[in-house]
A and B are shown apart, each in its own frame.
Chain A
Amino acid sequence: MSVFTPDLISGLISNFIQFILLLLLAPLSGGIIKKVKALSQKRKGAPVLQMYFDLWKLIRKESVVSDTASWIFKVTPYIVFSASATAALLVPVTTLLPSAVSGDILLLIYLLALGRFFMCLSALDTGSTFGGMGASRESMISALIEPSMLVSVFTVGLISGSTAIDEMMAAMRTIGNPLLHPVYILCFFAMIIIILAETSRIPVDDPSTHLELTMVHEAMLLEYSGRQLALMEYGAAIKQLIFLTLLVNLFLPTDQLIALAGISGASAAVDAVGVAGITAGAGAAGAVTGTAASAVSAAAVIVALVLYILKIILASLVIAVTEISTVKFRFFSIPNLAALSFILAFLGFLQYFVLGR
């Protein structure tokens, strides 16, 4: 019983709230992107919440499995979904809330890679030609984009002195505006290319196509139906939201602005001690003071969550505009894009050494 200190319990509760928030928001960003694209083509488009309806419909449907499929095919949707969900557990939505699970960013990257690996396996499993093609393309893209992802993550980690996600976000908060810093702006651009490649967006892969020549991610989902398809698509949506969250929370931190605005309670939380403020306050005090402290910081937390949702909408708009204004690359041009992204991350790394901070 002594293991469950009040700190740990409040941390776990806040982790759980953030996890639920991520799961609930996940289909939204895809909906926003689709809506903006439809409006740009002078169509009315599906409603923003369409993916929720789709998932709800798919979950109630029966799924059909090919006779030649082995257990890998059946188990993959659960692995993909649970890998994405576990990764979502590691990503803090706001640094104002205490966190009991301190996730390492390498764990996050390779959890998502585990899901991708099983997705490729299941695509090969049924022996359909499209599945094999999609799997081979997906593995090539992921192999190309992995170095740049690692270098940009390590650059941010090197400066913040940690690879734990919440500590990285807390360190980025102290920088002020990271986009006015040569190291971070290069990592930011690298990260945008990484997101486009990882979440199968347009210069790399077209998420709305079912044309056999161009599809990559869709080709791997072609054999799935019903609940299994719902799990796979939900997993992909969560993955996309995780990357967007990393982008906005690392490179557009807003939590320090709440402290500047002087919303009560937040300034205590965002001082040098950081997140420990709330936890210590809530933990050490008795019932009365504890509720008072959490009631004071509730306003700040709500503002932080609203800001987070606004930032996610903004990032989705940026991705939608990128999708509208570019064309899909020829498959063998993707190494050029990956090289550019790697170079961006590497230059950021180099600038850090030249600047010497």
Chain B
Amino acid sequence: MMDSYFDILSALILLSSFLLMSHKRIKSYIKTFRIQSSLIALTAGIMGMDSLIREGSFDILIVCVIIVLLKVIYIPRLLHRTYGTVEYKVEKDFYLNIPLLILICCGLVVFAYFSVSNIGSLDGAHLNLQVVNSLSVILIGFFFMISRKKAIGQMIGFLVIENGIFVTAFFSTHGMPFVVDIGIFIDMITAILIMGVMVTRINEKFESINLDKLKNLKG
């Protein structure tokens, strides 16, 4: 029963990263990232309740609370604030058109499926499915990062990769040690803070957050 909930949640998390890929505007990126993080928080919540009932440990529930505070509330707000300080300019944010991007992501999912099915030590159809879906989230996050021109899009890509890694670890181990989780979160929040400052600086210097402009010489 638990497994079928996790199956469907992993499918929905994968779906949300496809949704992210199909968006054109930075505001919708942030909104979709928030949806994805809420789904991950839900997954952690279900698993946390399970471990509380079975073993009486609060670890995963605490992780769930941290996810809600950090990824659902704080980071989207931070991204909105960063986005508000930079200059607003509507321009094309990606190199290829969206249907093509989505089809390439679909290829990435097939690739993830074939590589996971060769691992061998993963037994059980449910675990296999969950790992395939969450590994695809990582790959799509990478691809999102290289397909977007603007800095905020690339920050979102980084966050999606992080989400994917978290979910992969989560589904394959059913709860990592608490210290490891906390370490990852602290890492991530540092990275996001630094990136936020960087984006503001880039915008001040080059009057745009389009990273293609970094190639231009500045005197």
Known: A336-B98, A339-B22, A339-B98. A185 touches B106 (CB 8 A): no
Chain A residues with CB under 8 Å of B117's CB are: 354
Q: Could you tell me if A351 and B129 are in contact, using CB atoms closer than 8 angstroms?
A: yes
Q: Could you tell me if B128 and A343 are in contact, using CB atoms closer than 8 angstroms?
A: no
Chain B CB within 8 A of A357 CB: yes
Q: Could you tell me if B11 and A340 are in contact, using CB atoms closer than 8 angstroms?
A: no
Interface of B is mostly: helix
Q: Could you tell me if B11 and A186 are in contact, using CB atoms closer than 8 angstroms?
A: yes
- Tell which of B2-10, B43-51, B81-89, B203-211 binds the partner: B2-10
Q: Could you tell me if A344 and B98 are in contact, using CB atoms closer than 8 angstroms?
A: no
Residue of B11, B22, B110 touching A182 (CB-CB under 8 A): B11
Chain A CB within 8 A of B18 CB: yes
Chain B CB within 8 A of A61 CB: no
State in angstroms the CA–CA spacing of A335 and B103 once bound together. 12
Q: Could you tell me if B113 and A350 are in contact, using CB atoms closer than 8 angstroms?
A: yes
Q: Could you tell me if B125 and A185 are in contact, using CB atoms closer than 8 angstroms?
A: no
Q: Could you tell me if A180 and B103 are in contact, using CB atoms closer than 8 angstroms?
A: no
State in angstroms the CA–CA spacing of A181 and B1 once bound together. 11
Instruction: Report the number of A-B residue pairs with Cβ-Cβ less than 8 Å.
Output: 68
Interface residues on A, range: 20 to 34
Chain B residues with CB under 8 Å of A351's CB are: 11, 129, 133
Residue of B7, B98, B109, B126 touching A347 (CB-CB under 8 A): B109
Known: A181-B4, A351-B129, A354-B125. A339 touches B15 (CB 8 A): no
Using a Cβ–Cβ cut-off of 8 Å, how many residues does chain B contribute to the interface with A?
A: 29
Question: Which chain B residue shows the least CB distance to A332?
Answer: B97
A57 CB → nearest B CB, Å: 43
Q: Could you tell me if B132 and A185 are in contact, using CB atoms closer than 8 angstroms?
A: no
Known: A181-B4, A185-B8, A340-B22. A354 touches B102 (CB 8 A): no
- A130-188 residues with Cβ-Cβ distance < 8 A to B are 180-182, 185-186
Residue of A335, A338, A354 touching B113 (CB-CB under 8 A): A354
- A325-357 residues with Cβ-Cβ distance < 8 A to B are 335-336, 338-340, 343-344, 346-347, 350-351, 353-357
Chain A residues with CB under 8 Å of B105's CB are: 343
Chain A residues with CB under 8 Å of B102's CB are: 336, 339-340, 343
Chain B CB within 8 A of A189 CB: yes
A238 CB → nearest B CB, Å: 31
Residue of A180, A181, A336, A343 touching B106 (CB-CB under 8 A): A343
- B68-121 residues with Cβ-Cβ distance < 8 A to A are 97-99, 102-103, 105-106, 109-110, 113, 117
Question: Which chain B residue shows the least CB distance to A189?
Answer: B15
Q: Could you tell me if B106 and A182 are in contact, using CB atoms closer than 8 angstroms?
A: no
Q: Could you tell me if B125 and A356 are in contact, using CB atoms closer than 8 angstroms?
A: yes
Chain A CB within 8 A of B14 CB: yes
Chain A CB within 8 A of B19 CB: yes
Question: Which chain B residue shows the least CB distance to A183?
Answer: B11
- Taken residue by residue from 36 to 80, chain B's Cβ proximity to chain A (1 for < 8 Å, 0 otherwise) reads as 000000000000000000000000000000000000000000000
- A181-214 residues with Cβ-Cβ distance < 8 A to B are 181-182, 185-186, 189
Q: Could you tell me if B99 and A339 are in contact, using CB atoms closer than 8 angstroms?
A: yes
Known: A182-B129, A354-B129. A340 touches B4 (CB 8 A): no
Residue of B5, B7, B18 touching A355 (CB-CB under 8 A): B7
Chain A residues with CB under 8 Å of B128's CB are: 354-355
Known: A336-B98, A336-B99, A347-B109. A180 touches B18 (CB 8 A): no
Q: Could you tell me if A340 and B125 are in contact, using CB atoms closer than 8 angstroms?
A: no
State in angstroms the CA–CA spacing of A192 and B208 once bound together. 39
Q: Could you tell me if A335 and B99 are in contact, using CB atoms closer than 8 angstroms?
A: yes
State in angstroms the CA–CA spacing of A350 and B22 once bound together. 20
Q: Could you tell me if B109 and A336 are in contact, using CB atoms closer than 8 angstroms?
A: no
State in angstroms the CA–CA spacing of A336 and B129 once bound together. 26
Known: A350-B110, A354-B113, A355-B129. A343 touches B18 (CB 8 A): yes
Chain A residues with CB under 8 Å of B133's CB are: 351
Chain A residues with CB under 8 Å of B22's CB are: 336, 339-340
Known: A182-B7, A335-B99, A355-B129. A340 touches B106 (CB 8 A): no
Q: Could you tell me if B99 and A347 are in contact, using CB atoms closer than 8 angstroms?
A: no
* Minimum-distance CB pairs A-B, first 4: A182-B11, A339-B99, A339-B102, A336-B98
B-side interface residues toward A, CB under 8 Å? 4-5, 7-8, 10-12, 14-15, 18-19, 22, 97-99, 102-103, 105-106, 109-110, 113, 117, 125-126, 128-129, 132-133
Q: List 29 A-B contacts (CB under 8 A).
A: A182-B7, A182-B8, A182-B129, A185-B12, A186-B15, A189-B15, A336-B22, A336-B99, A339-B22, A339-B98, A339-B102, A339-B103, A340-B22, A340-B102, A343-B18, A343-B103, A343-B105, A344-B15, A347-B14, A347-B18, A347-B106, A350-B110, A351-B129, A354-B117, A354-B125, A354-B129, A355-B125, A355-B126, A357-B125
